[in-house]
Amino acid sequence: MTDNQLSSSQIEIVGEEATDDMSEVTETTASSSLESITSESKETDTSLSDLNDDRNHESIIEQTTETTELVTKLSSKRALYAATLPNDPNIIAIDKVFQPPIGVGPNILNDGKLLQINPDKKNQYGAIWSRKQISLLSDFTFKSYLYLGDNKSLAADGMTFTLTNDPRMTSSPSQVIGSSGKGLGAYSENVGQSYIRNALSIEFDTYYNGDWMDSEIGRNSDYGHVGFVTPKYYNGSYRGEHSGVIKPNTHLSNGNWRLLTVKWNAVNQQLSYELEGIGTASYTVQDINKQFGGSSVYWGFTSSTGERSQENALAITQIPSEVSSKATMSIDQGNYVTEGEAEHLANIKFKNILNVTNYFMVDVEKRVTIDLPSELAYVDGSVKLNGQSIQSSELIVENNRLMIDVDRLLVAKEDLTIEFEASVVAQMTDKLLTLNFQYLEDEVLIKKSNDIALHIIKPKEKTLNVYYKNFFNQSQDVAEPKKITGKIGASYQEQPKNLPGYVFKSDSGNTAGIFEHESKDIYFYYRVGELYLAEVPEAIQFGQHKISNTDLRIYGQAKGRLAVVDERASSGWRLQLSESQPLNNNGHELMGVLSFVNDSSSRLISDQKITVFESDDKGQTDLTSILENKDHKGIRADIPVEEQRLGAYEGRLLWSLENVPAN
């Protein structure tokens, strides 16, 4: 490194709503039929429109034909019933779900997949109940196809889906059945007759009993109706028996299977139904203890026929599952809670304890999902089931939604613990997040967990990064960054570091201030340290002198300072001097008259460089003293007598600075 200087210069750079389908369904008519010759009377029916509204079906006049022995002719391809199973692979075998049937008619057919509550015969009635109770403190969903025969306006009477906590279920379950005919196997047709106690029914009534409770609904062109009814000691009142009634615009008994979905919402204590192509309605139970006499119920079906008939059958795709789902979270390894606060970069561990009572879980795809808001980021590989890491195929992450396949480890009536971690990525946010886990079977929502309330808050403290950067390459750190942390509102002040080999140049302008949420990081900028001549004398003046008959010896006086700056971390330097132009007066040159003198030597100044000072000192070194003429040091002129002439002489000296590598 060489710095040659005659004068100094300086450079400065500076992130379903479900709708009720009220449209008519495309119906598929059952392909099997019953061919029979029976001893039963044939009905020669006048048009139903000729019947008075106040006459029930038991009073319809019939024309009886000759009675013969029952001879049933069956095709080898036909079943013993008219209804054939819908083409749905989700239909489940239910032969182990129910207690023994009650009454006349119930049959479990087709390898346990079709429940015929009664055949198309007169004066049938029956009931069938689940073996196990289900809790009303948890949500559940039931799905089934219903078949209400194909007798259209001649159909009677219908069927019900019923929830009950009848006390006789434990001691004499065979008595848990209602009246036949218009009692639909659930209600009391007259005072003193049997009915299902502590119950709520959804009825699918195909016949209009105008002299009974149907009078509050109207005939509806003999299409039938659907609604909620509470079975009681007498259901014959003309008003107030029905709720949530839907009157279809087609016959309920028209040969079609219709999908029925029944849901119980435990929080709202609300039972709802949706019958495909017919509509949807709900009923709120004001007091489950008053309605059911407890918080657990059996579920099942009842049906009946009278002097008119229809086949009543169903095929179940989803039985009521008793599901509990509890959600908690741990913030930065704290206790598990359902409410909490977290700041930027906090670690959140979510936990879901799931328990499902469903005897047919093997037949459905089971999944747990949770939607993470944009303020949270899932920690890859953190999902565990019962403490075990899951297989890659058991997790899908899509648009911040976690979908976890729990088929492998979920066992009926046993707790399954689902855990995963997320981090808070939101920084300056004050927001309340609500999250929950969702349990699905075959992509159908079965149960939501309780909500978790996570409040993302702005930090109570602020941490700033302090960076030390190369001014000319600001991606380069010249020293390790550091952090400063303080409470919001506290003051701070930072100074640049003394970094060997670097020189502070500027900063980001916020090196002192108050800790605020919006405070920015601090930057100090440095340039690489250099070796250079800070100052050199403007001139070396020798003054005025008379011509003498002897040699002149004159010590020059430096006008200005001589200083060297070494900003580097290592190595030394040497200051050198040469004569770039000898003293000259109108062409008369004084050659070889200048010398550099110090305490130990005197050396001639020529066009060859001589070393006048050598050092490894850092920072600024003031060398002005080596030019002090009063001590007979510095630059000396020796002018022989023969070279002394009148005139002003001027020359130029060149100062050079060179690097001396460290040993």
pLDDT tens track for 592-611: 999 999 988 999 999 999 99
Q: Are residues 412 and 313 in the same domain?
A: no
Domain identity same for 576 and 479: no
- Of 49-63, 126-140, 152-166, 320-334, highest mean pLDDT: 152-166
Rounded percentage of the chain residues whose pLDDT exceeds 90? 64
pLDDT at residue 79, rounded to an integer: 39
Question: pLDDT tier at 362 (50, 70, 90 boundaries)?
Answer: low
CA angle 558/560/561 to nearest 5° reads 100
Decide which of 470, 502, 526 is a domain's last residue.
526
Q: Is 446 within 8 Å of 141 (Cβ atoms)?
A: yes
- Does 60 lie in the same domain as 103? yes
User: Is 60 exceeded by the pLDDT of residue 8?
Assistant: no
The domain that contains 644 carries what CATH number?
A: 2.60.40
Note the pLDDT of residue 3.
Answer: 57
Query: Minimum mean pLDDT among 28-42, 357-371, 516-530, 554-568: which range?
Result: 28-42
Say if CB 56 and CB 211 are below 8 A apart. yes
Of the candidate ranges 357-371, 528-542, 595-609, the one whose mean pLDDT is the lowest: 357-371
Examine the pLDDT at 22 and tell me if it is beyond 70.
no
The overall average pLDDT reported for the chain is 84
Interval 211-238 mean pLDDT:
88
Q: Which amino acid is at 267?
A: V
> Which one, of 619, 638, 636, 663, lies nearest residue 577 by Cα?
636
Amino acid at 508: S
Query: Within this chain, do residues 313 and 338 fall inside the same structural domain, yes or no?
Result: no
Same domain for 373 and 352: yes
Ranking 356-365, 391-400, 401-410, 518-527 by mean pLDDT, the lowest is: 356-365
Least confident of 8-22, 434-448, 572-586: 8-22
Per residue in 71-121, pLDDT tens? 222 222 333 467 788 888 778 777 767 888 888 778 888 888 888 989 999
- pLDDT at position 311: 93
The reply to whether 653 and 571 lie within a common domain is yes
Task: Confirm whether 24 is domain-assigned.
Answer: no
Kindly state the tokens that stand for 307. 């002097």
Is the Cα dihedral 580, 585, 588, 593 positive or negative?
negative
Report the b/e string of 586-610 with b at 16+ CB within 10 A.
eeeebeebbbbbeeeeeeebeeebb
* Percentage with pLDDT > 70 across the chain: 86
Residue 13 lies in a domain: no
Q: Can you tell me the distance from the alpha carbon of 609 to that of 612, in angstroms, rounded to the nearest whole number? A: 9
Region 118-128: what's the mean pLDDT? Answer: 91
CATH number of 49's domain? 2.60.120.200
- pLDDT tens digits for 549-571? 999 999 999 999 999 999 999 89
Per the listing, tokens 């109770």 go with: 133
Closest CA to 439 of 556, 334, 361: 361
Q: Is 274 helix (H, G, I), strand (E, B) or coil?
A: strand
Rounded to whole angstroms, the Cα distance separating 351 from 366 reads: 18
Listed residue (299, 445, 308, 455) closest to 366, CA to CA: 445
Q: Write the pLDDT tens digit of every residue in 225-258.
A: 999 999 998 887 767 889 999 999 999 999 999 9
Q: What is the pLDDT of residue 526?
A: 97
In a domain, 9, yes or no: no
Residue 64: the pLDDT is 28
In a domain, 365, yes or no: yes
pLDDT surpassing 70 at residue 216: yes
Measured between alpha carbons, how far is 149 from 559 in angstroms, rounded to an integer? 123
Please indicate, yes or no, if residue 384 is contained in any of the structural domains: yes
Token pair of 62, please? 């019939």
Distant-in-sequence, close-in-space partners of 116: CB < 8 Å, separation ≥ 6: 81, 83, 105, 106, 107, 108, 109, 311, 312, 313
- CA 167 to each of CA 161, 198, 293, 300, 389: distance values in angstroms, whole numbers, following the listed order: 18, 8, 9, 15, 47
Q: What is the arithmetic mean of pLDDT over 20-42?
A: 28
Residue 240: the pLDDT is 82
Distant-in-sequence, close-in-space partners of 626: CB < 8 Å, separation ≥ 6: 562, 598, 612, 613, 633, 634
Domain boundary residue, one of 263, 286, 318: 318
Would 252 be classed as within a structural domain? yes
- Shared domain for 446 and 514, answered yes or no, is no
Domain match, 79 and 186 both: yes
What is the distance between the terminal CA atoms of the chain, rounded to a whole angstrom? 16
Q: How many domains does the chain have?
A: 4
Q: Where are the beta strands (DSSP E) in 136-256?
A: 140-147, 158-164, 199-205, 225-229, 242-246
pLDDT digits (tens, 9 = 90+) for 403-443: 999 989 998 789 999 999 999 998 778 899 999 999 987 78
Query: How many Cβ atoms from other residues are within 10 Å of residue 658's Cβ?
Result: 17
CATH number of the structural domain spanning residue 474: 3.10.20.320
User: Could you tell me if residue 27 is inside a domain?
Assistant: no
Q: Which domain holds residue 52?
A: 35-318
Count of other CB atoms within 10 angstroms of residue 490: 12
Tokens 């207690």 belong to which residue?
Answer: 99
CATH number of the structural domain spanning residue 399: 2.60.40.740
- Per-residue pLDDT at 6: 52
CA 41 to chain centre: 66
Judge whether 304 and 158 are in contact, CB under 8 Å. Answer: yes
Q: Are 199 and 187 in contact (CB under 8 A)?
A: no
Domain boundary, last residue among 399, 432, 456: 456
452 and 467 share one domain: no
For residue 235, the model assigns a pLDDT of 81
Q: Are residues 641 and 623 in the same domain?
A: yes
CB 32 within 8 A of CB 79: yes
Model confidence at 59: pLDDT above 60: no
Instruction: Establish if 282 belongs to a structural domain.
Output: yes
Q: Which of 464, 489, 458 is nearest to 342 (CA)?
A: 458
Same domain, 202 and 107: yes
Please, what is the Cα angle at 285 between 279 and 289, to 5 degrees? Answer: 145
**Pair 414, 491 in one domain:** no
d(CA 565, CA 657): 10
Distance separating alpha carbons of residues 423 and 331, to the nearest angstrom: 10
The phi and psi torsions of 125 (rounded to 5 degrees) equal -160, 150
